[in-house]
């Protein structure tokens, strides 16, 4: 069978694969397209096992560039060199990048300089905070991409403000939500609630990893004071990010977070958990406190109140149409909003966040590449 078009998908780290998975699955069902899945290896993740890809119902990557760590410039430059070499030896009709990591920009730049069309999934998201490296990656990638696929109408509006013409923009919905719907039944089978001795609605869920929150002791202590109030009413389940663990130890805050004595009444500290376990924890939480972008989206669809511990968000649709509340890192704001929103559920959900974004993408991109 002859496939008329070939797509090259780029993923750099575990969260990228959550976005790539539904796109790859859509291609696997189509007779009109073949694809290559490239893992740049920007982050080493010991949990990226065969089981991980099986859970997402996608094959293992065809190629791992093994870029590894280093500074932003090192990662970006090394990715461009490795990807350029690949493109010179392998023909493709379009390079598809997702999100806002360094590999997103690096591979978009490289493809454009090889005169290969670039499609950006999750276009038009803006925090308006250019101190965030992700914001620079988003702006630059959108500026050079040929096809810009947005998750929501506010992203369309933002791109038009930046001078992008209508013909380049297509609102398909949120591919991360495709992955969520595809895995809900499997997540329900997880026994993690039994493992931590919790029942649905009985706990708060916390994730904390952004440098602006965990690298500054005063900021982290301010968040902790808010969390102490939360913990008096609900146990806090806390999958501990390696970066956060390192900073908590360097600031001498182990006792406050109970990272010495895991499983105490107020903080249930866990090692990082798998996607299905995290989805089960998210779906069944009473309330969530996070500085993650993805959780803002997932809680919006699941209707779980989400207090976002950041001064801004590149996903404002989760506030206007979902269950997300932007509280920053101020102790009193955390306390006030926890008291207001605990035990609440939301039924609002953005249009097209329905599990079919990837199908809309594939239908559109094949039309554009004809």
Residue corresponding to tokens 């998908």: 9
Tell me, letter by letter, the H, E, C secondary structure of the chain: CCCCEEEEEEECCHHHHHHHHHHHHHHHCCCCEEEEEEECCCCCCCCCCHHHHHHCCCCCCCEECCCCCCCHHHHHHHHHHHHHHHHHHCCCCEEEEECCCHHHHHHHHHHHHCCCCEEEECCCCCCCCCCCHHHHHHHHHHHHCCEEEECCHHHHHHHHHCCCCHHHEEECCCHHHHHHHHHHHHHHCCCHHHHCCCCCCCCEEEECCCHHHHCCHHHHHHHHHHHHHHHHHCCEEEECCHHHHHHHHHCCCHHHHCCCCCCCCCEEEECCCCHHHHHHHHHHCCEEEECCHHHHHHHHHHCCCEEECCCCCCCCHHHHCCCEEECCCCHHHHHHHHHHHCCCCCCCCCCCCCCCHHHHHHHHHHHHHC
Structure tokens at 132: 């965030």
Structure tokens at 268: 């249930």
Structure tokens at 208: 């904390």
269, 187 in Cβ contact below 8 A? no
**260 given a catalytic annotation:** no
Structure tokens at 313: 């968000």
Instruction: Render the burial of 208-243: b for 16+ CB within 10 Å, e for the rest.
Output: bbbeebbeeeebbebbbebbbebbeebbbbbbbbee
Q: Which of 6, 72, 209, 241 is catalytic?
A: 209
Point out the residues that are catalytic: 209
């Amino acid at each position: 069978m002859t496939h008329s078009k070939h797509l090259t998908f780029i993923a750099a780290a575990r969260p990228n694969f959550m976005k790539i998975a539904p796109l790859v699955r859509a291609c696997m069902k189509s007779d009109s397209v073949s694809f290559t899945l490239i893992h740049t290896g920007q982050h080493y993740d010991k949990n990226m096992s065969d089981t991980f890809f099986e859970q997402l119902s996608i094959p293992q990557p065809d190629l791992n560039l093994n870029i590894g760590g280093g500074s932003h410039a090192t990662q970006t430059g090394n990715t461009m060199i490795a990807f350029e070499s690949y493109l010179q030896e392998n023909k493709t009709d379009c390079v598809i990048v997702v999100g806002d990591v360094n590999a997103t920009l690096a591979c978009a730049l490289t493809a454009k300089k090889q005169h290969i069309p670039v499609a950006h999934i999750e276009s038009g998201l803006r925090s308006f905070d250019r101190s965030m490296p992700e914001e620079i990656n988003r702006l630059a990638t959108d500026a050079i991409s040929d096809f810009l696929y947005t998750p929501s109408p506010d992203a369309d509006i933002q791109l038009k403000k930046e001078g992008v013409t209508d013909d380049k923009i297509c609102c398909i919905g949120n591919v991360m939500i495709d992955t969520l719907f595809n895995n809900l039944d499997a997540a329900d089978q997880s026994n993690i609630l039994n493992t931590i001795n919790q029942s649905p609605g009985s706990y708060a869920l916390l994730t904390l990893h952004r440098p602006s929150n965990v690298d500054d002791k005063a900021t982290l202590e301010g968040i902790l004071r808010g969390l102490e109030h939360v913990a008096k009413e609900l146990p806090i389940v806390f999958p501990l990010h390696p970066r956060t663990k390192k900073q908590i130890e360097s600031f001498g805050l182990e006792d406050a977070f109970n990272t010495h004595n895991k499983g105490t009444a107020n903080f249930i500290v866990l090692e990082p958990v798998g996607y299905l376990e995290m989805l089960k924890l998210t779906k069944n939480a009473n309330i969530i406190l996070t500085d993650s972008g993805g959780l803002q989206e997932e809680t919006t669809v699941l209707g779980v109140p989400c207090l976002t511990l950041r001064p801004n968000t590149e996903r404002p649709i989760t506030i206007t149409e979902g269950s997300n509340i932007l509280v920053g890192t101020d102790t009193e704001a955390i306390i006030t909003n926890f008291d207001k929103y605990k035990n609440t559920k939301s039924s609002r959900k953005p249009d097209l966040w329905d599990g079919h974004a990837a199908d809309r993408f594939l239908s559109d991109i094949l039309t554009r590449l004809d």
